[in-house]
Amino acid sequence: MSLDLLTYLFIGGSFALYIGIAIWARAGSTKEFYVAGGGVPPIANGMATAADWMSAASFISLAGIVSFIGRDGTAYLMGWTGGYVLLAMLLAPYLRKFGKFTVPDFVGDRYYSNTARTIAVICTIVISFTYVAGQMRGVGIVFSRYLHVDINTGVIIGMAIVFFYAVLGGMKGITYTQVAQYCVLILAFMVPAIFLSMQVTGHFLPQTGLGATLENGKSVLTTLNELSVELGFAEYTAGKKTTIDIFFLTAALMCGTAGLPHVIVRFFTVPRVKDARLSAGWALIFIAILYTTVPAVAGFGRVNLIQTINGQDNAGVEYAEMPSWFKNWENAGLIAWTDKNGDGKVHYSAGDAFAGKPAFGEGRGASGERVTTNPTEGVNEVYVDRDIMVLANPEIAQLPNWVIALVAAGAVAAALSTAAGLLLVISTAISHDLMKKTINPNITDKQELMYARLAAVVAILIAGYFGINPPGFVAQVVALAFGLAASSVFPAIIMGIFSTRMNTQGAVAGMMVGLVSTMTYIIYFKFMGGSADQWILGISPEGFGTVGMILNFVVAYVVSSMTPPPPAEIQHIVEDIRIPRGAGTAHAH
């Protein structure tokens, strides 16, 4: 069976499954729309949480980033897994016991202020939009390659699908859809990883693959180091980022994970506080399966990519003889080649094949690549979009067509599951926290549901725009969202749970300073042409969320010390949610 036919079958079949589940589990009330009625079993919630949290960044882009930047990519691995542990152990059970299923709801009630609630709504929306843009970009990449359309059309198709099951099903539909999506995405990631591991090293377990010995008698990592140096790249195992930037990026990703609104809400879809802890443990196991495999997939993919493009002797391969996968991704605009020396061969090495990057919102190069097409000095002739690594791996390794089709279905599942969760958070923030709790408390259940669905529609349109005009690679765009979460809502939640003295004035001032400082830094360096040599202390925009977070804590502490303490009943609630008793039923309302 042809690859195209298999891809349509796999993606079409998975969509039919997701939409069928959304119709079967569609929300009939606001409680079902927001928290799936609070009756999801812990193991199912663990799978749904894992699918919600492992986005297109984890599935498509993480192995790509690690394969291109080597050791420095471990910041993403450590930050995202460590952050999930932080969320599961430090925040989820307390928030569950407090009984508020959205971050603005917690902030508004804990800090007894509609101003605090509104700022939390703004933070939530900014974080979620930044994050969902990465997912839409991921969907566009998959569709551009496998449906033979351009990326922009791919993003629009993705928007239509997410609209259907996020707006119709709400949290109930999304939860059971995400259980199915987890099964699809983990199969799609692990099957090619096991194939690659067997092919490259003879080992069945990809997790042990990087240390395995190849035919040349050297390990995968040693081979990668030698290939990288020979082609002018830094050693694969060498660090290129400064230690402080790695530390700040890891911390921003960790604390950002713990402040992610769409993951926190998952702990309200189970019946009891005890189940929230259980589902957190299950989710960690389900997440670890993919994350412990990423370094091997990145390593194998990098070796295969270099040897396929340059040939076994690194002398280059005639363009006319390049394998079909190279031409396919070239047609999708995610690989580009310019024959600098006129020898008709493809040469891949360090350096930019195409100079510069277009400003935000501008078009792409002649081949669709996200750079302008003025050749620079140097011998490199190939532009490879790092977001394609996981998707192209099975084709490069000449795995069976059904494996390639499975990966396409998995990538779509990863992107759509997170996009749906984020869109739900945006619609909940607007309908529940802004309309119901702040602007008009008298609206009916039906009106609130209508506002939620309208907000989701607008959110999808804006997310689609940013998917078509992305500010970076998928994992980088998502990293910016984590930085914003770390600098704004994370400190407010932590201090709200663990400090009886933290008051409205402190929380509001802290959130404002954290969000504004981090957004200013990101906008300047990502969209206004700031250069890396201007970074403060060498801290990248992706890592600056940690600085914003520290500023947030400091400002909140100072302001709260100089203003009156919270009312006695609020202090009593804060003390009460940290007492282990009450592991029984806790209600979302």
Condensed to tens digits (0 to 9), the pLDDT of residues 538-575 reads 888 888 999 999 999 999 999 999 999 888 888 888 88
Task: For residue 439, give every residue at least 6 positions away whose Cβ sits within 8 Å of its Cβ, in sequence order, or none.
Answer: none
Q: For residue 384, what are the β-bridge partners?
A: 335
Of residues 364 and 155, more confidence is placed in: 155
Q: Output the CA angle 425-427-431, nearest 5 degrees.
A: 120
The domain that holds 409 is classified in CATH as 1.20.1730.10
Residues 449, 556, single domain; the answer is yes
Select the more confidently predicted residue: 511 or 143: 511
Q: 459 lies in a domain?
A: yes
Instruction: Specify if 317 maps to a domain.
Output: no
Confidence of residue 221 (pLDDT cuts 50, 70, 90): confident
What is the mean pLDDT of the segment spanning 38-62? 78
Which pLDDT score is estimated for 201?
82
In a domain, 315, yes or no: no
- The verdict on 296 and 372 lying in the same domain is no
pLDDT digits (tens, 9 = 90+) for 290-311: 888 998 888 888 888 888 888 7
pLDDT range class, residue 25, cuts 50, 70, 90 = low
Q: Is the pLDDT of residue 361 over 50?
A: no
Residue 505 placed within a domain: yes
| pLDDT value, residue 549 | 95
- The answer as to whether 318 is a domain residue is no
Closest C-alpha to 268, from 517, 473, 39? 39
pLDDT of residue 561: 94
Q: Which residue has the higher pLDDT, 176 or 503?
A: 503
pLDDT digits (tens, 9 = 90+) for 183-200: 888 988 898 899 888 888
The highest-confidence range among 360-374, 422-436, 559-573, by mean pLDDT, is 559-573
Higher pLDDT, 271 or 585: 271
* 276 and 355 part of one domain: no
Say if residue 271's pLDDT is above 80: no
352 plus 411 within the same structural domain: no
pLDDT for the residue numbered 376: 47
Same domain, residue pair 293 and 346:
no
Domain housing 264:
3-301+399-577
Q: Based on the domain organization, do 212 and 108 belong to the same domain?
A: yes
Over residues 509-536, mean pLDDT: 86
Q: What is the mean pLDDT of residues 256-274?
A: 73
Q: Identify the helix (H) or strand (E) that includes residue 318.
A: strand 317-318
Kindly indicate the confidence band of residue 37, based on its pLDDT and cuts at 50, 70 and 90.
Answer: very low
pLDDT of the residue at 544: 92
Q: Which of 350, 384, 418 is the last residue of a domain?
A: 384
Give domain status of residue 523, yes or no. Answer: yes
Task: Determine the pLDDT at residue 358.
Answer: 39
Q: What is the pLDDT of residue 375?
A: 46
**Same domain? 125 vs 20:** yes
Say yes or no: 251 and 170 in one domain: yes
* Predicted local distance difference test score (pLDDT) of residue 196: 85
- Residues 110 and 219 grouped into a single domain: yes
Residues 380 and 407 reside in one and the same domain: no
pLDDT for 369 equals: 43
Instruction: Pick 579 or 509 by higher pLDDT.
Output: 509
Which has the closest alpha carbon to 42: 214, 249, 279, 329? 279
Report pLDDT for 368.
Answer: 42
Q: Which range is least confidently modeled, 53-62, 158-167, 292-301, 359-368?
A: 359-368
Mean pLDDT of 350-356: 67
- Which value, to the nearest 10 degrees, does the dihedral of the CA atoms of residues 152, 153, 156, 157 take? -140
Residue 213 pairs with which residues in a beta bridge?
219
Instruction: Tell me what pLDDT residue 440 has.
Output: 74
Alpha helices by DSSP H, 311-396: 324-331, 389-396
pLDDT digits (tens, 9 = 90+) for 465-503: 877 776 555 556 677 778 888 998 899 989 988 888 999
If DSSP states are collapsed to H, E and C, what string results for 49-68?
A: HHHHHCCHHHHHHHHHHHHH
Domain count, the chain: 2
For residue 353, tell me if it sits in a domain.
yes
Q: Are residues 354 and 208 in the same domain?
A: no
Indicate if 65 and 121 belong to the same structural domain. Answer: yes
Instruction: Tell me whether residue 588 is in a domain.
Output: no
- Domain boundary among the residues 358, 384, 410 is at 384
User: What average pLDDT score do residues 365-377 get?
Assistant: 43
Report the chain's mean pLDDT, rounded to a whole number.
Answer: 79
C-alpha span between 100 and 224 (Å, rounded) = 49
Which pLDDT score is estimated for 470?
A: 66
Chain segment 72-91, per-residue pLDDT in tens: 888 888 888 888 888 777 77
Q: Give residue 33's pLDDT.
A: 54
Sign of CA dihedral 411, 416, 417, 422: positive
> Encoding tokens for residue 589?
């309302």
Q: What is the pLDDT of residue 170?
A: 56
Catalogue the long-range contacts made by 202-210 (C-beta closer than 8 Å, 24 or more residues apart).
206/293, 206/296, 206/297, 206/300, 207/292, 207/293, 207/296, 208/296, 209/296, 209/299, 209/300, 210/295, 210/296, 210/299
> Residues 508-523: what's their mean pLDDT?
91
What is the pLDDT averaged over residues 348-377? Answer: 50
Percent of the chain with pLDDT over 90: 9
- Judge whether 95 and 267 are in contact, CB under 8 Å: yes
